Amino acid sequence: MKAAIIGSGIGGMATAIRLASLGFETHVFEQNSFYGGKINSKQLGAYRFDRGPSVFTEPHLIDELLQLNASERINFDYNKLPISCCYFFEDGTKVSLPSGSDAVAEALSNELGENRSKVLKFLERLEKNYNAVYPVFIKVSLHRVGHWLNSNIFKAIKRLPFYGLFSTMNGVNTSTFNNKKTVQIFNRFATYNGSDPYKSPGMFNIIAHLELNVGPFMPKGGMVAISDAVYKKAVEMGVDFHFNTRVEEIMHEKGRVTGIKHKRGILNCDLVTSNMDVHFTYEKLLPAFTGPSKVLSQEKSTSAIVFYWGIKKSFDALDVHNIFFSETYEDEFNQLFVKKTLIDDPTVYIHISSKVEKEDAPLGCENWFVMINAPVDDGQDWEVQKKRVRANILKKLGRILNQDIEPLIEEEENLDPVMMQRMYSGKNGSIYGNASNSTMASFYRHPNFSSSLKGLYFAGVTVHPGGGIPLALNSAAIVQRCVQNDFSIR
């Protein structure tokens, strides 16, 4: 049997490996000249940059993938980072949060005056919540009773009073912590799926568990090493990659997928998995097919503006992950989602892989991945927006770091929502598909299969279970299980 995968993002490549392990002749079609989707690399002069995701958690999911049908060990090494993130505030406060609940509680107690035991209790609650929902929400399809209806569901139901389902993330955090800065630190995890902490349900505080209780990791060679290892595994499994090949149509007949049409011809196949943004899958590849309107009409997640700066200086105050908070955090999200614009004082994230990957920048220099959340493309003049926000970022960083940054920039490139849509086929430049800005938003994410078109499956960050590398990897595992069910494969 043959399988076609549309898109070589991490979810697409993981699905390709899993289908190949089931015996499918598997083909991956990629419109770009490179694999990995957003997890790709860019060289600017003597500086190397990871262009997309920069936070790596749950590395065991990659390890498990690479061990499927293992004939040889694919080299993939990583190290745990001692500091999860450094947080900077306008009043000069800096909080460096380590990994591990005890260390986090100690830091928040010492730096922000929080009650240590109260922080520990909250972090324990997040861990228990995560462990309860993982086997019945993240690891399986919500849309097939046989996946989630097992003994684990009772454990998850028992914890319903502790999830914060009927409060926002901000509501839960405000009622838990004394210091507004602590609230802001925990609120910011809503941005990990492109959402608004003042609207997202309190359940999404579990996102903080992986980074704070467990801790982030860094792959040897940078984030692109994830894509490199998974691509190598796919090739080893016999997966055939077709680069610079845009899929034009998913073909179907009598309610079943029959193949795909691409710019070089047609591939007849038994199943198709789209790793492409689910909205564009229907709009561009199934134009005559009616998609699930309720799912596709949901509010979109944020996009981003990114500056890649080669900085000819090293800053001891900075670590691998750094956040410079806005003083008007709630207004920032209002501008992003309601007014579809940027505030003059945006929250700035800086990722510096050269802090641990020394070859990513010349000696005494650093590679800054500088990102702010941005609204999806709604016809804004992004050249004007980028020029304005660049100036505001430089002012903010110069003020807090007490250093004029612009003279230090010797290499530069940028990325905006229009460019993201063009490169990664995210509708309007959205990074994660739908936002999670309502109580039931998670249940409105598209299933990992089509209930109307047999043989059509979906993987990646725009479908269940959601955004981020771990969830994309889980989506691939869910597709595998669905295919095994549907094709009676053990």
Q: Under CATH, to which class is 2-40+60-69+223-297+436-486 assigned?
A: alpha beta
435: Cβ contacts below 8 Å, ≥ 6 apart: 193, 194, 195, 196, 200, 298, 299, 300, 301, 302, 337, 441
The two structure tokens encoding residue 331: 């207004």
Per residue in 396-407, pLDDT (tens digit) is 999 999 999 999
pLDDT > 90? residue 428: yes
- CA nearest to 365, candidates 40, 39, 44, 42: 44
Which of 304, 286, 311 is CA-nearest to residue 296? 286
pLDDT on residue 220: 97
Round to whole Å and give the CA distance between 457 and 449.
4
Q: Quick one: tokens of 72?
A: 């040889």
Q: Output the pLDDT for position 11.
A: 98
Residue 64 CB coordination number (10 Å): 12
Least confident interval from 145-154, 228-237, 370-379: 145-154
> Which residues, at least 6 apart from 436, have a Cβ–Cβ distance to it below 8 Å?
190, 193, 195, 200, 201, 204, 301, 442, 466
Residues above pLDDT 90, as percent of the chain:
89
pLDDT tens digits for 344-387?
999 999 999 999 999 999 999 999 999 999 999 999 999 999 99
In this model, does residue 440 exceed pLDDT 80?
A: no
Q: In which band, very low, low, confident or very high, does the pLDDT at 452 lie, cut at 50, 70 and 90?
A: very high
Q: What is the pLDDT of residue 490?
A: 81
Q: Would you give the DSSP letter of residue 325?
A: -
DSSP 111-150: HH---HHHHHHHHHHHHHHHHHHIIIIISS-TT-HHHH-S
Q: pTM, whole model, 2 decimals? A: 0.96
Across the chain, mean pLDDT equals 95
Distance CA 146, CA 167 (A): 30
Q: Residue 36: is its pLDDT beyond 80?
A: yes
Supply the pLDDT for residue 455. Answer: 98
Whether 194 shows a pLDDT value over 90: the answer reads yes
Within the chain, which residue ranges are assigned CATH 3.50.50.60? 2-40+60-69+223-297+436-486
Query: What SS3 class is residue 10?
Result: helix
pLDDT tens string 236-271: 999 999 999 999 999 999 999 999 999 899 999 999
What is the per-residue pLDDT for 355? 98
SS3 of residue 440 by DSSP: coil
Q: Is residue 39 within 8 Å of 223, Cβ to Cβ?
A: yes
Angstrom distance (rounded) from CA 18 to CA 481: 9
| Strand spans (E) along 230-347 | 240-242, 247-253, 256-262, 265-268, 271-274, 303-311, 321-324
pLDDT in tens, 274-290: 999 999 999 999 988 88
Q: What is the pLDDT of residue 288?
A: 87
pLDDT at site 70: 74
DSSP 273-287: EE-S-HHHIIIII-T
Q: What is the pLDDT of residues 204-226, one digit of tens each?
A: 999 999 999 999 999 999 999 99
